[in-house]
Amino acid sequence: MKEKRNLKVTFNRSGGTASKGGITSRITLPITWVRKMELNPEDREIIATFDGEKIIIEKKGARE
């Protein structure tokens, strides 16, 4: 099953010990996708891979 959604990246100024002008980015994923991946507050580690064009998000241990 392949599902596509248009999502937005949010940008925030970094705080703490970040360099002056530092920015962080975040993407919010639909909870239905997160649940299908069986992620939860106790088991939430993922592997993110970037090939220059696409970001692939997988549950840690799924293909290790």
Q: How far is CA 48 from CA 5, 20, 61, in A?
A: 18, 27, 12
Q: What is the pLDDT of residue 19?
A: 73
Distance CA 18, CA 42 (A): 28
Distance CA 28, CA 22 (A): 20
Distance CA 50, CA 53 (A): 7
Rounded average pLDDT per 10-residue block, the chain, 64 residues:
92 77 91 95 96 95 68
End-to-end, the C-alpha distance of the chain in Å comes to 22
